Amino acid sequence: MQRRQWLGAALALASGMAAAQAWPGKPVRLVVPFAVGGTTDIIARTVAPALSKALGQSVVVENKAGSGGVVGATETARAVPDGYALGIATVSTTASNPAINPKVSYDPVSDFTPIVNIAATPNVIAVHPGFPARDYKGFVAELKKNPGKYAYATSGTGGIAHLQTELWKDLAGVSITHVPYRGGGPALNDVVAGQVAIIFDNLPSAMPFIKEGRLVPIVLAAPQRLAQMPEVPTFKEIGLEPVNRMAYYGIVGPKGLPAEVVKKVHAATLQALVEPAVRQRIEDTGSLVIGNKPQEFAAQIKAELQVYKDVVQRQKLALE
């Protein structure tokens, strides 16, 4: 009996190894946990054709939006770990939302297999042109002079924009009210229209309005000042380095993904990221190409989660 059990286990292991070595034998799904047209979707659709070429199988992008990315992330976490269902992980799905939402059914550290961080995107605090300050010093002075007078818009409660602004508020010692929207588009529209004075947003979606002069950038979460707006300082420059955190967009699978699959996806992604057209498209959004190792991406996810758990605790935040 024991011998049969041992043989069965050995055959199952051998079969699993053979399947991993032959992977991929059919198209691979890449789940984007947000709607079409956002930064996450742009990044996924930029790399998917190059991944398809590198892997020799189609990589099909599927948008599974809902609950600030939780719906799509949950689908990835619950997928069979055979390499045919992967997902795009963001700060919102693996750090900020799990930090504030007790109903998130997955553990962002233990329920995914991190593979590679594709790109990182700067975030920006910007104001309507009618705001009575156009630089960081004047911005903070106005907020401290009028505590509670102003509000800031984000794409929703629990997202990176919400919790990163709360982290900044805590460190800067200012009081502004959060106005959550059902997506970045509506939030941007109301700030551009002057309904709300301040927004914290990913740079790619805010940049067109900044270029048109319909938003005024105040401070950036980025490694250094950007050539497109050299007058705008980073959070690090103003002495608030903990806020100087960019959004990330990486590939993950469910826990238990075979090491051979991880290796192949990682190598294919790095191959995709050296293609000039892919790099250019990513950089055109204001993002930076990353392409790190699986263990580095895993450490990044773990660190971000702890940052936003601390923010939620200090600011006594809860879902609205």
The domain limits of the chain are: 26-120+246-315, 123-243
pLDDT at 182: 73
Q: Which amino acid is at 230?
A: P
Cα–Cα–Cα angle for 195, 222, 40, nearest 5°? 70
| pLDDT at 5 (0 to 100) | 55
Q: What's the length of the chain?
A: 320
Fold of 123-243: D-Maltodextrin-Binding Protein; domain 2 (3.40.190)
pLDDT of res. 2: 56
What CATH class does 26-120+246-315 carry? alpha beta
pLDDT category at 50 given cuts 50, 70, 90 is very high
pLDDT at 13: 47
Choose the weakest-confidence range: 19-23, 98-102, 202-206, 280-284: 19-23
What's this model's pTM, rounded to 2 decimal places? 0.82
pLDDT at 6: 57
Do 123-243 and 26-120+246-315 have the same topology in CATH?
yes
Q: Report how far residue 305's alpha carbon sits from residue 297's, in angstroms, rounded to the nearest whole number.
A: 12
- Angstrom distance (rounded) from CA 287 to CA 39: 9
Cα 295–chain centre separation? 17
- Residue keyed to tokens 């959060």: 178
| DSSP letter (8 states) at residue 233 | P
Phi, psi (deg, nearest 5) at residue 33: -80, 20
Three-state SS at 280 = helix
Location of structure tokens 């991993």: 20
Beta-carbon neighbour count of residue 216 at 10 Å?
A: 19
Between the alpha carbon of residue 257 and those of residues 23, 63, 176, 241, 300, the distances in Å are: 12, 22, 43, 35, 19
Hey, what amino acid is at 293? K
Which residue bears the tokens 């509506």?
186
What's residue 231's pLDDT?
A: 96
